[in-house]
Amino acid sequence: MIPRQLADQFDRGDVSFIIVAGAMVAFMVPGLAFLYSGLSRRKSALSLIWAVAASNAVVIFQWYFWGYSLAFSPSATNGFIGNLRNFGLLKVEADPSPGSPLIPEILYSFFQMEFACVTAGILMGGLAERGRVLPAMVFTFCWMTTVYCPLACWAWSTHGWAFKWGVLDFAGGGPVEIGSGVAGLAYSWVLGRRNERELLNFRPHNVSLVGLGTFILWFGWLGFNGGSAFGANLRAIFAIWNTMLAAAFGGMVWCLLDFRIERRWTMVGFCSGTIAGLVAATPSSGYLKPWSSVITGILAGALCNFATKAKFLLHIDDALDLFAEHAVGGIVGLFMNAFFASGRIIAMDNVTVGVRGGWVDHNWKQLYIQFTYIVATCAYTFVVTALVAKAVDLIPGLQLRSTPEGEMLGMDEVEIGEFATDYIELRRDVADCSTFGFSRPTQGFRPGDAENERHAQDTMPNGHHPTEGDHQANGHSHHETGGQAHEPLEVIKEKPENGDSTPP
């Protein structure tokens, strides 16, 4: 039994606060699942929910098994990665935590585990519409061990080289945001591009789910950033205020930039900008005064919006814009610390004292410290992620990408065997067939069925294949998911087969 005096050394208010904050962070996982499901097409919507949920379970096991020890072992002998002293959470009980002496280490390990779960969940967006889920789970375990744990050690362990050097990263601009965003780009690069014909008809299948997922993430992010103060203190209050401001201004700026082109106030655009602001607030919210977070949100909304074009320059099919949203947003937040981090805000947790801020505190060297940290994190993450993904892909039976036939049928049918909203996609496929002049599908037509798809292709006029121009000519314009609008499908009226002129 733990002696009473040992239990009483911790502040019960702080302990309660971190328990609640950890639960809020855990709630971000279904938020990610709904967001990705809504952004994808119907035929792969459920597979992304499954992938996010399953990766959550994999990370919980990995973190218990050796993840926490590799990231935060107090007896580590180097600044790169920890050792196995806390393998299986051994010796992780009621000692004061590395984050604060006012909460126990066992609670700290739980809170950090939820960060790891969210990071892996973000990375699952790289599977969109072509990635197999079982190999992705093997990859997730390996990636957590070789990439996330070292990054967490660098930034947050008292032995980490970045921590010792004075890098300012409050809640995970490096391990969580750059780690997931750059890894998503590398994973998409290894997977390869989707079929070009498939890309022409790519649009979010359920914008309501996109909104729901975003609002869940926004709520959970308050625990994510607020809890990173590791106590119910003034610094936590500033963190949640800064989070709200960055999210709000990020959403508004992204919407304005989209309206400039589309002349519509897109919901996907607002959600994308909000997430960009939340991402930028992750490394910076515990360092900045509120006025600085307004600038952070504005810059994040604008730069992340423009960064959605990077995948076309790089020729990497980052379907859900993980790099633009998370990597670029994390970089923005880390650079903001170099300029606007305030030592006064840092000291408001009554634990982290004597730490200097950025240029506002006349700490001019902070800029190159942040820059070096960003470059090291990006380079290490991309190279090691690509190597791990390629290694898993070479294992017999663990090929990362589905077959061309599987991609046409959809990941839901091939990988999961269940569907999110089957009837909606049937109507949409019929609408697309009619738009391009396909003959009416025969009875028993099933979306994505290979034989019916070939029949539909063969019945197009002169064997013509749909192009971007066909979409525009028929009043439909295609855009990627980065906050762009999509023209609504027109109601299709067909003449009944019995010759009756009355619409069905």
Dist. CA 288–CA 190, nearest whole Å: 38
Enter the tokens of residue 181. Answer: 């965003």
Enter the tokens of residue 232. Answer: 């119910």
Dist. CA 15–CA 231, nearest whole Å: 7
Dist. CA 16–CA 431, nearest whole Å: 53
**Rounded to the nearest 5°, which phi and psi values hold at 211?**
-65, -45
Dist. CA 203–CA 81, nearest whole Å: 41
**Rounded to the nearest 5°, which phi and psi values hold at 2?**
-75, 130
Dihedral angle sign, alpha carbons of residues 305, 308, 314, 318:
positive
| pTM higher than 0.85 | no
Q: pLDDT tens, position by position, for the chain (504 residues)?
A: 455 666 678 889 999 999 999 999 999 999 999 999 999 988 889 999 999 999 999 999 999 999 999 999 998 889 999 999 999 999 898 888 888 888 999 999 999 999 999 999 999 999 988 999 999 999 999 999 999 999 999 999 999 999 999 999 999 999 999 999 999 999 999 999 887 665 655 688 899 999 999 999 999 999 999 999 999 999 999 999 999 999 999 999 999 999 998 889 999 999 999 999 999 999 999 999 999 999 999 999 999 999 999 988 998 999 999 999 999 999 999 999 999 999 999 999 988 888 899 999 999 999 999 999 999 999 999 999 999 999 999 999 999 999 988 888 888 888 888 887 766 556 556 666 555 554 444 444 444 444 444 444 444 444 444 444 444 333 333 334 444 433 333 333 333 444 443 333
Chain-centre distance of CA 423, in angstroms? 28
CATH numbers and ranges of domains, the chain: 4-393 (1.10.3430.10)
